Amino acid sequence: MNKITLFFFVSTLFISCSQPEKELPKSNEIMLIDGWARPGKAGMMSAAYFKLKNNTGSPDTVLNILSDASKNTQMHLSFKTDDGLMSMKQQQFVAIPSKSEIEFKQGGLHVMIIQPDRDLVEGDSISLRLFLSSSKELVAKVPVKSVN
Amino acid sequence: MKKKQLLVFVLCTLVSYLGCQSGPEIIDDLSDTSFELVNQDSVSVTFPDDYQGKYVVMGFIYTNCPDICPLITQNLIKIQREMGYPDDVQFLGVTFDPERDTPSVLANYKQVFKLNENFDFLTGDPSTINAFMDSVRVRSQVSFTTTTDDGRELYFMNHSDKIMVLDKKSRIIIEYGGSMPQVPTLIIEDFQKLR
């Protein structure tokens, strides 16, 4: 190794080591975070909530969500009607813009878990399988927890 | 008296008058009503007579509601907890879907939310519930249906969003949107002024 090469090697090493610690770039994918499902008795009603973080440079869309807790799950949005009643509207898809985060949260977007086939007890978990328009599938386990 | 002095006098008199007005505004008086209802343990309840002498904090729900009604229930629970589980305040959740929300269904709902003795869910025969909901100005209507796994139709409802407080004489004195996140704080503050 000649002197010039050695100089550049040491300089590069020094510069890279002296950079302030930066947050490592997140993986280039869509992530489901902070998920949870409300406790519920078998045959009654529950719902799941979470955030979806799109770290990619492309928008994506949730087309469907399945769960091992019920054969019947639907995406809905709660809203107030013009005459002041609380209502819900089924969402056939939910867009996730690129480099952004959307939230399924109480009083808003939610995954309706209709008539779960088992008791959903605090401490258990359920799986959610999200089908995206990019042909990707996102699978996550979320805890059953009470937010009383 | 000069105009300015007269204005000050009128304002002072008005402030003094308003300050002397005691107690909260009465929104509605339910003391002359009577509804035969039943709680989650199938125990008969005469509303509001059985609760006279207690404050009542009451929300309106249906148990097949996946999102808003659990929020209303959570708010009732939060109010009760943050008030320290007071003995003189009865907490109630009344269903506007009596066809499906039988006492045993309400018992399951109560169990899921881990509620205590001072928190009851009420139902009744549909005509009584309709009359009851009219008296507290709670509206509900079937909004859409879906088909369950076993081929049965399951309906969902549009509904009022309300938590109300009755005083010890069964008069409605407080009303808020039941699922609003700030409702527990508002009601607890209102109670502090009442006591």
Distance from CA of A62 to the nearest CA of B (A): 20
Give the nearest chain B residue to A49 (CA atoms): B67
What does the alpha-carbon distance between residue A82 and residue A68 come to, in Å, rounded to a whole number?
Answer: 36
Angstrom distance (rounded) from CA A140 to CA A126:
8
Distance CA B128, CA B33 (A): 12
Least CB–CB distance from B67: residue in A39, A88, A148: A88
Cis peptide upstream of residue B181 (ω within 30 degrees of 0): no
The mean pLDDT value for A36-55 works out to: 97
Q: Which of B63, B68, B144 is nearest residue A107 as measured by Cβ atoms?
A: B68
Quickly tell me which residue has 């190794």 as its tokens. Answer: A1
Helix spans in chain A (H):
3-18
| A92 token code pair | 């056939």
Is 0.90 surpassed by the pTM of this model? no
Assess whether pLDDT exceeds 70 at residue A18.
no
- Can you give the length of chain B in residues? 195
Asked if the model's pLDDT at residue A119 lies above 90, the reply is: yes
Using the beta-carbon criterion (under 8 Å), do B149 and A72 form an inter-chain contact?
yes
Helix B183-194 and helix B68-82, axial crossing angle in degrees, nearest 10: 40
pLDDT at A77 over 50: yes
Residues of A in contact with B106 (CB under 8 A): none
**What's residue A3's pLDDT?**
57
Whether ipTM exceeds 0.90: no
Q: Does A97 touch chain B (CB under 8 A)?
A: no
Task: Give the Cα separation of B25 and B106 in Å (integer).
Answer: 33
- Say whether B160 and A86 touch across the interface (CB within 8 A): yes
Average pLDDT score over chain A: 87
Say how far residue A19 (Cα) sits from the centre of its chain.
32
CA distances from B77 to A27, B51, B93, B102 (A): 40, 19, 10, 21
For B37, the enclosing helix (H) or strand (E) is strand B35-39
Mean pLDDT in residue range B129-150: 95
Per-position DSSP letters for B65-106, written without gaps between them: -SSHHHHHHHHHHHHHHHTT--TTEEEEEEES-TTT--HHHH
When CB atoms are compared, the residue of B108, B112, B161 closest to A86 is B161
Q: Cα–Cα distance between A26 and B32 in angstroms, integer?
A: 64
Beta carbons of B74 and A147 less than 8 Å apart: yes
CA-CA distance, A54 to A75, in Å (whole number)?
19
Closest to B80 (Cα-Cα) out of B50, B55, B105, B104: B55
Q: What is the pLDDT of residue A9?
A: 47
pLDDT per residue as tens digits for the range B49-83: 999 999 999 999 999 999 999 999 999 999 999 99
Mutation site for B-interface testing, chosen from A83, A86, A121 by largest number of B Cβ within 10 Å: A86
Decide if A81 and B113 are in contact by the 8 Å CB cutoff.
Answer: no
- The reply to whether residue B112 touches residue A86, judged by beta carbons under 8 angstroms, is no
Q: Can you give the pLDDT at residue B148? A: 85
Given an 8 Å threshold on Cβ–Cβ distance, is B158 in contact with A71?
no
Mean of all residue pLDDT scores within chain B:
91
List of chain A residues whose C-beta atoms are within 8 Å of the C-beta of residue B59: none
Nearest CB to A85 within list B63, B159, B179 = B159
Please tell me if residue A143 touches chain B, with a CB cutoff of 8 Å.
no
A24: pLDDT strictly greater than 70: no
Which of A36, A45, A90, A121 would best serve as a mutation to test chain B binding (most B beta carbons within 10 A)? Answer: A45
How far is B55 from chain A, CA to nearest CA, in Å?
A: 22
